[in-house]
Homo-oligomer: A and B are copies of this chain.
Amino acid sequence: MPSPTDGRELRAQGRWTMTKLLDAGMQVLTDRGYHAARVDDIVRVAKVSHGTFYLYFANKEDLFRALAVRCAENMTDLAGSLGRVEPGDAGLAELRRWLGEFIATYEKYGVVIRAWMEDQLSSRELSKLGTKTFGQVTSSLVKRIDEARPGRGRESEVEAAALLALIERFTYFLTSRNLGFDDADTVDTLATIVYRGFFAPVDQQRRASLRLAE
């Protein structure tokens, strides 16, 4: 189903209304969650009529798609912005910086990211966009993990998935519940965990000794 705005130019007023709807959509989505979000709520927040909504979006999902596309763009940028994680303080600092960016993105697009992570989406197309987007992030992580701890083959993919799981869910806790943790310190702690668990060079002897006898 095509968007009603396909093949038609929006003027200033139209663009403003669309912005209002997108913002309202984001807000309602964030407040109520993906499933409980009602078109009714969105138009009330945006202060437009019911009919107006459908001048800009084919249906509720179409609005979600628009938000998801925005989010996917941000996430793609994010994926590209993770630098090499050097051993020692430099790498830790880079991780901390990047996690800060991740959290900022999450504060904006949390609902969408969560909808992807939690597989709440009805539409195949939206799911695919999520899979693709997360794939990019995972690839970046795999690349940096491999640089830091080379030669582990597919294991690093599992690790990247775990890493993504960790930071996504942790950030969710951070932004949703008020955990009472001080933010800067909390990010420090997360960065340290991530560094140790995924990037810190492993002393060969210790590593060998950790292998489980199977």
Q: Which residues of A contact B (CB under 8 A)?
A: 33, 35, 88-89, 92-93, 96, 114, 117-120, 154-155, 157-159, 161-162, 165-166, 168-170, 172-173, 176, 179, 181, 185-186, 188-190, 192-198, 200, 202, 209-210, 212-213
Contacts and interface: CB of A to CB of B under 8 A. Distances in A.
Contact of A119 (B92, B119, B176, B200): B176
22 contacts: A33-B120, A35-B120, A88-B209, A88-B210, A89-B210, A92-B212, A93-B212, A155-B189, A157-B181, A158-B185, A158-B190, A159-B189, A159-B193, A162-B166, A165-B166, A188-B212, A192-B210, A193-B197, A193-B198, A194-B197, A195-B210, A197-B197
Contact of A89 (B93, B161, B212): B212
Q: Which of A117, A118, A176, A200 has the most CB of B within 10 A?
A: A118
Contacts of A194: 197
Contacts of A179: 158, 161
Contact of A118 (B88, B89, B96, B114): B114
Contact of A165 (B88, B118, B159, B165): B165
Q: Which of A88, A170, A198 has the most CB of B within 10 A?
A: A170
B176 A161 contact: no
Nearest to A197: B197
A169 B93 CA distance: 25
A174 to B, nearest CB: 9
A165 B169 contact: yes
A158 B96 contact: no
A14 to B, nearest CB: 13
B96 A212 contact: yes
Contacts of A172: 165
Contacts of A89: 209-210, 212-213
B170 A162 contact: yes
